[in-house]
A = this chain, B = another copy of it.
């Protein structure tokens, strides 16, 4: 069993220089002539000069009468001049040819009609007043656009006006995308996700990369998924090197026993870089075969995207002679300290929102395997190689994945997760197009702390006060003594025991948790659900130390449900929605109160008012009830 190791990892900057400096790809693209109408987004292969002038005759620039300016000299209010239509004055509209012998237009508002074909004017005009002269916009033979220019919709107007109906453009770089991996299944062939067998994975990277290739101006062919078979992959790559401008082998780029991308490229050509000190994206391979750039693209989806955007996309731009696309950058403040490895440049995905007068950045999970860490991100913070991490509230630059105005119109919700927040998000997007909701799950106490630190507009919380059975208010009084907040009920929801389908252990309730034949999975300290459990155990006088698995903690309802599904535990405490999601059974234990805690300073803002309006609609309540395990009898009520 042979395994690759990374030799000579490069920094991002070094790797990009090696890749793009090596001008093997120069003038590889053919040219083609296309209609201007179809040219938007294409890149000129040669400069374009105008064939005709625009306007190509002297044209009236106003509606009015065309005159010879000299014939108006001497007119003034006390001594108006009379002109005869179609003799020394001619009605014209904007864009009309200036009649022979005329050189100025008098606006219709300043013309006094005094009889049949007779008009009077009471002020002189200068020559060429309100006339668009030949070539005012475009002069024949002048350069319209240099080569390597990308055609925009505006350009179409200038080209057509300059008499250019066809342009020579560079052919789109043809990219062959080869997804590899014996575990992969093509979604086009799978038809239904339920046809997926255990261990099979839906291949999605090639489709994402394909769309990115198009975005950067390339075209693509997607090869069928190939098994982890270096010899077979080699055959396909060898053949493709004759007819494509670039080849991407997705998967098999790291240092595993089945990671053949490097070997394939090495055997047919030359490796330029293997391994870059970035995260995600480290295992990228770059090489060339017959002067064709060939990449080994990492198989983790976020790694693949980062590798694409830093190397493959820029290579397409270099081939086309275009400027790399660029994201807007703004200063943001991380909501918490983030440590990062020295020597690695990290692409940290963050959620962003304008809270008070600062844009706060809440980090998303850092795993490269999770595509949702980039689909849910509003921005990316690049933590440089030579920095050990970010400090909380120290301003740092983020690249935006969404428009700034959209980030400014984001309601930042932090705290305990609940599925109705998703419904809320969806309803707000429908009702008020420009407002979005961004939620981060850090537990109920985490939500209150986020309010204390000023990093959210809304905290979701379900903290039970054991002493009186009330929710949230005593915690707020204790932990947020100096912050005025409002509390609005979102939902009442059923918490209960999540158990495997059919309840094989015959569990009846909390009282069974201390049974010797049962393993429990717990939630983390500080979560509302943990507090609820401890309260119930106390009530039932059960000593937690008698429960198998009590020390094993998960941090979300869903991970508890997953633990039950996978057999790691026999039972956990969580919400009905989590059980339902994984088709597990559920024994209700208590109906608890899930509230939104909102600082008063935001309570009257347009965005929060819109959010509260949505909560109070029948439509929202109906959708929530339909989820199951929820009750809306207090929904929208102000609890404090």
Q: Which residues of A contact B (CB under 8 A)?
A: 1, 3, 36-37, 40, 47, 51-58, 61, 63, 91, 93-97, 103, 108, 132-149, 152-158, 160-161, 163-165, 181, 183, 187-188, 190-191, 193-194, 196, 198-199, 201-205, 207-208, 211-212, 214-215, 254-259, 299-301, 305, 317-318, 321-326, 328, 367, 369-372, 374-375, 403-406, 419, 422-423, 425-426, 429-430, 433-434, 558-559, 562, 565-566, 568, 577, 580-582
Contact = CB atoms under 8 A, between A and B. Distances in A.
Nearest to A427: B146
9 contacts: A95-B183, A142-B581, A143-B425, A153-B212, A153-B215, A154-B374, A160-B187, A160-B202, A328-B404
Contacts of A196: 52, 56, 163
Contacts of A212: 153
A426 B47 contact: yes
Contact of A323 (B140, B328, B403): B403
B58 A566 contact: yes
A562 B429 contact: no
Nearest to A195: B163
Given A160-B202, A208-B156, A211-B153, A95 B299 contact: yes
Contact of A207 (B52, B156, B181): B156
Q: Report which residue of A137, A372, A433, A562 has the largest number of chain B beta carbons within 10 angstroms of its beta carbon.
A: A372
Given A165-B187, A165-B193, A566-B58, A559 B207 contact: no
Given A63-B254, A139-B558, 15 more contacts: A37-B207, A57-B198, A63-B257, A97-B198, A103-B568, A134-B562, A136-B367, A137-B370, A138-B371, A140-B582, A147-B429, A156-B211, A163-B196, A322-B433, A323-B403
Contact of A183 (B96, B324, B325): B96
A371 B405 contact: no
Given A369-B137, A403-B323, A433-B321, A426 B143 contact: yes
B559 A426 contact: no
A188 B328 contact: no
A55 B375 CA distance: 16
Given A63-B255, A93-B258, A199-B57, A325 B193 contact: no
B136 A326 contact: no
Contacts of A136: 367, 369-370
Contacts of A582: 53, 135, 139-140
B434 A323 contact: yes
Q: Report which residue of A54, A160, A204, A323 has the largest number of chain B beta carbons within 10 angstroms of its beta carbon.
A: A160
Contacts of A193: 51-52, 163-165
Contacts of A141: 419, 577, 580-581
Contacts of A137: 367, 369-372
A157 B207 contact: yes
Contacts of A142: 419, 422, 558, 581
Contacts of A149: 429
Contact of A160 (B37, B191, B207, B372): B207
Given A157-B208, A163-B202, A326 B425 contact: no
Given A52-B196, A63-B254, A429 B146 contact: yes
A589 to B, nearest CB: 21
A326 B577 contact: no
Contacts of A56: 196
B256 A93 contact: yes
A241 to B, nearest CB: 25
A242 to B, nearest CB: 27
A430 B147 contact: yes
A94 B299 contact: yes
Contact of A208 (B134, B154, B372): B154
